[in-house]
Amino acid sequence: MTTVIDLHSFAERDLLVDALAALIATELTRGVNSNGRATLAVSGGSTPVDLFIRLANVDLAWPKVDICLVDERWVDPDDPASNERLVKTHLLQNKAAAAHFTGMKTLAKTASEGEAECARRLHRYQPCDVLILGMGDDGHTASLFPKAQKLAQAVDMQSGKICVGIAPSTAPHERMTLTLPAILAAKQIILHITGQNKKEVLNQALTDGAPEEMPIRFIINHLSEQKKPLPVFWAK
């Protein structure tokens, strides 16, 4: 498999955060100038917290920026596991408090039952101007987990779906995730990872293998076919 990645390596995580925040700001400003508004889709977990804090203080036309999630655990928005809570705590602060946020969690009992409402919420934000992905030690990205129920539906390029309720077999909580076509529609996709272990996982994902075993390969494979570079921001 011929891969196309654009690896940005940094000796320190603070340097990564500064560079990535600057790139995001540039892309969002371009979107605002071109279309009047711009959309940023972010992932959860511990890795993006410092980036969120840095972005919250960037000079930007935040009232014209819409922020949404790449995926979400199907828990209450005030639950410690909620990505919505993470974004509100660390990103929607200071200057970025003026941005408009749309969460994925609905009042539906299950993520599958909430798909239609979530899709209605997110429809007007497609395609995103900037979409930040993370990656787990098992090679999952967004909530595209190996062996997850409905993984095939979530990565179906012909599904016509923006989001899918999905149940990982290796992680807690049912999830809502953007589908592969919705992710790939983003004008700028960026993979943000830290630590030597994640770099080794990425190197493994860059080798031949079934994408179902390491779903980050779905992103890599499709972009490689289109000869589009995937920017990867990595620091120890």
Q: CA quadruple 218, 72, 128, 158: dihedral positive or negative?
A: positive
In the chain the first and final C-alpha atoms are separated, in Å, by 27
Q: Which residues pair with 166 in a beta bridge?
A: 175
Arithmetic mean of pLDDT, 213-232 = 93
pLDDT band for position 112 (cuts 50, 70, 90): very high
User: Residue 119 is which amino acid?
Assistant: A
Arithmetic mean of pLDDT, 124-143 = 96
Query: What does the longest C-alpha to C-alpha distance in the chain come to?
Result: 44
Closest CA to 188 of 15, 25, 13, 44: 25
What's the domain range around 27?
A: 5-235
For the chain, list the strands marked E by DSSP: 5-10, 38-42, 65-69, 71-73, 100-102, 130-133, 163-166, 175-178, 189-194, 230-235
Average pLDDT, the chain: 96
**pTM, full prediction:** 0.96
pLDDT in tens, 166-201: 999 888 899 999 999 999 999 999 999 999 999 999
Provide the number of structural domains found in the chain. Answer: 1
- What percent of the chain has pLDDT above 90? 93
Sort residue 159 into left (φ over 0), alpha (ψ -120 to 50) or beta: alpha
Arithmetic mean of pLDDT, 151-161 = 96
Residue 175 in tokens? 């999830």
From CA 136, how far away is CA 57, in angstroms rounded?
A: 28
Residue 21 in tokens? 């925040």
pLDDT in tens, 18-46: 999 999 999 999 999 999 999 999 999 99
Indicate which CATH number applies to the domain containing 183: 3.40.50.1360
From CA 87, how far away is CA 193, in angstroms rounded?
A: 18
- Residues in CB range of 213: below 8 A, 6 or more apart: 139, 146
Arithmetic mean of pLDDT, 110-125 = 96
